[in-house]
Chain A
Amino acid sequence: MSKRIEAHDVDIFYGKFKAVEGVSMTIEPRNVTAFIGPSGCGKTTFLRSINRMHEVLPGAHVTGRITLDGDNIYDPGVDPVTVRSMVGMVFQRPNPFPTMSIRDNVLAGYKINGKKMSKSDADDLVEQSLRGANLWEEVKDRLDRPGSGLSGGQQQRLCIARTVAVHPQVILMDEPCSALDPISTLAIEDLIRELKEDYTIVIVTHNMQQAARVSDTTAFFNIEGTGKPGKLIEMGPTEKIFSTPEVQATEDYITGRFG
C-alpha cells in the first residue's frame, strides 16, 4: 500500500517565476520524511508537485521527473486525477467540507467521485477510517452533524480520515499541526507514527522537535535570497541531520543560528 517516490531534477514555476530548482531525492515507502527550511524556500511548492496539485494554479507548471514506484507522474499519458487518488494530501488549515456531515466527509472521496457503495460497506469504511485517525470514539455519536462543528484538532483528524478512506499510497501533509494546540498536535503525531506502517508519509513542518519526533528522514530546503529559487540542500536520516549535518547552512538552521 505504499510507494517509493523519486524526484529527478525537478524545477517548479509560478508562471515565469522559478520557485524551486533542481530537486532530486528519493522518498522511501513506510517511512516518514520531513521537509524543513525557512519560509518561502519552496517546501509547500515541492510537496504540491508530488500529487500534481501545483498545476491547478493558473500558469503553474513543473519540469523534470517525479516517479511513483518508477512511473513518471508527469508523463503526458498520466491523468492528474489518478495521481491525486494515489497521493493524498492533508492541508495546513483543517478543511472538512462544511456542507457535509462527519460521515459524508469521510466518504467524500467516494461520494464526490460518484462511486457506489453499499450502506454496510460505507459504515465499515467510516468506522475504520475514523478509528485509523484516532477520532472514532469522539465522534461516533454524532456522525450526522456537520464536520465544521468539530474542534480544530478534530477537524484535522477528520481530514486525515477522509484522506485515508480513499486508500492512497502516499500521504502528504503540509504543516498539519500549525493551526493546532499542543495536545491535538501530539494526537496527530501519534497518528503519523501509526500511519507509517501502511503509507509513505511526507510532512512539512516548521517545528524542529516535531521533525525530530516523527520523521525517519529529513530534507532541508533553503533559499539564497528573495526572488531566488529554493533548493534542496541536504537530505538524510533524521538523527544524522539533527546531530551531524554535512552542510553548514543546515546546522545553522537547526540550531537556530539562521540568517
Chain B
Amino acid sequence: MKNIYENRKYVFGALLFLVVFVFIGKLFSLQVLDKSYQTTANRNVLRYIIRYPARGLIYDRTGELLVYNEAIYDLMISPNLVEEFDTSVFCDILKITHEDVEKKLENARKYSYYTSSPFLKQVSSETYAVLQEKLYQFPGFFVQPRPIRKYSKKIAGHALGYVGEVDEHVIENDPFYKMGDYIGISGIEKAYEEVLRGEKGVNVYMVDVHNRIKGSYQNGKNDKPAIVGTNIVSTLDADLQEYGEKLMMNKVGSIVAIEPSTGEILAFVSSPTYNPSSLLGRGRSKVFETLSSDTLEPLFNRPLMATYPPGSTFKVINGLIGLQEKVIYKQTEFYCDGGYYSGRIHVSCHSHDSPLNLPEAIQNSCNAYFCNVFRRILDNPVFPSVREGYNSWRGHVLSFGFGQKLETDFPFELKGFVPMDSYYDRYYGKTGWSSLTVLSLAIGQGELLITPLQMANMTATIANHGYYFTPHIVKEIEGEEKIDERFFSKHFTTIDSVYFPIIIDGMDMAVNGPPGSGSTARIARIDDIIVCGKTGTAENPHGEDHSIFVAFAPKDNPKIVLSVYIENGGFGATYAAPIASLMIEKYLKREITRQWHENYILETDLIHNEKEN
C-alpha cells in the first residue's frame, strides 16, 4: 500500500537535519571557536551579587512616614574560595570570637561547599566601612548589601506586622523566594507582600583569584537593577494610634476605630503591644521568645483574633431585629421588676425606672426589656416553630457581619461564632429547645462570640443607618488608581434604615441623658460633641468580666466609630467608655480638654494590680 503523503517523511528528515546543523554549529562556536570560557572557567569566577530591593514605604493617612528602610550588610562566604587568613584581624573587625569563626566556617561548608551563604548577617554600616578596606585579605568572603525595615515610631506593631526570613516551606512553594530572602509575616507586611516587596536585581561580576572584582561580566549584559517596592498609604491615623496605645498602657484589651463613611481603620490597638523594630536585627529570636512566652500574649492580635461574647452592646441588634420583624415599636414598653422571670428562668437586672420604651431601655441597658423582645422575635406567630424564628433572627445577625470573616485586607482574621439551630439540636435534641433555652442571647451572652473588629464594624453599620464598608487598613497603593474593589461596595443589613434613628436615640441618651435618668455611659460624655454609645460586659468564667464600649460621634454625620475592650475591666462604663471618649475627642478636636479624665485612665494599672492580688 502506497501512502500518498509518504513524501512528507522528507520534511521530517529535513527538520531533523536543520536542528542538527544548528546544534553542532552552536556547540562548535561555544566549545572550539570561543576560547574565553576555557580560560576563565577553571574556577567559578562569576559572582552573583543580589541587589535586594528596598521594600515599599508605609505612610499613615496624613502622610506621616511610619515604616522605611535602612541599609545593612551581610557578610557572605564561598567556602571553596576561602584560603588561610589572619583570624585575629578578622575577629577584631567583626567583634566575634575565634570559636565563632570556626563554627560559622563549618556551618557554611556544611550548607554548601560551592554556593555562597551568609557568614555574618546584618553587619552595621560602621563595621562595613572598616571591613571593606581589608576584604582583599580574606578570599572567599564578600559583602552583600541589603535594606532592613526601620520604624519612625514604636507604634502599630499589630497593624503593620513584621518581616522575617522565608522558611523552607515558602521557598518550596513559591519560586520567587530564595534562601535568605525576607517576606512579610503578619499585618500589612504580609497582606500587601506582593506590593511592598519589589523585585530583586542582580549584578554579575568576574572575580579574580585574589577575591577582587575585575568588572562586570559581559559588560553587564546579565545585570538587572533591583526594582524598589511600591509605597503604601495606610488608613491609620498615627497620632490617634499612638494616643490609643498610650491609654491602653498597663491594660489588656483592644481599641478599633473606623471611619464609618469609608470603612477605613483609623486606629488598631492591641494591648499589650510590642515595639515592631525589636523583631528585626540580630536580637530578633531572643525578643521573639520573650514575647511568645509572656502570659499576657503581646503577639496575640486581639482585634482580629480575640473573640468575646458581646454582652449588652448586642441589645442594639436585638432592638433593631425586633423593629424590623414588627414585634415591637419605638413606644413598646415592658415592665422590669429587678429582672426577667419565666418559670424557673430568671435574668436579673439592676434597678431603674419602669416601665421603659425602646430608647429608654437602651439608655438603661435593661435586661428584662430585651428578654421580652428576644422571645417575641423567636416566638413570633408568623413562624411555624421556634426553629424558623431562630433562623430568621440568625439571618439578621449575620447580615451585620457576625459569624463570618469580614474579608478585610488583614491576614488571620477570625470568624467569631453565631450558633446554627443544629448546634442547639445537638445539646437539647431537635424539639428540646425554645426561646427560653437560648434566652441568654437576648443580652449578648451565651454562645455568641464576636471579635473587636466585628464589633467596631457593627457600630459603623449603626452609624451609617444600615450598611457598612468592609473595614480595611490600606488607603492607597502608589501608582494604582484604587485599592481593591471590594472595599467600595456597601454591605446592607436586613434592617430597614428607618429603624436606626430609634436605636441611635437610645445610644445618645445612654451617654447624654440628664443625671439621674439612668444613663449607663455618662462618663463618655463630651460637652460639644454628641457621642452615641453603648456599654457591655462580657462574662468571663476565668475571672473579672471584660469591659466593652462601642461608640460613634458626632451623632449627625459620624466621623469615627469605636469598639473598646478592656479585659478584666469589669463593667463597660468603668474603663472602656472613658477611653472611647478620649479617643473621640483626640480624633475630632486633636487635643484633650479633660485632663482629669486622661489622668484617671493613664494612672489605671490593671495588669500589675491584678498580679499583686
A interacts with B = no
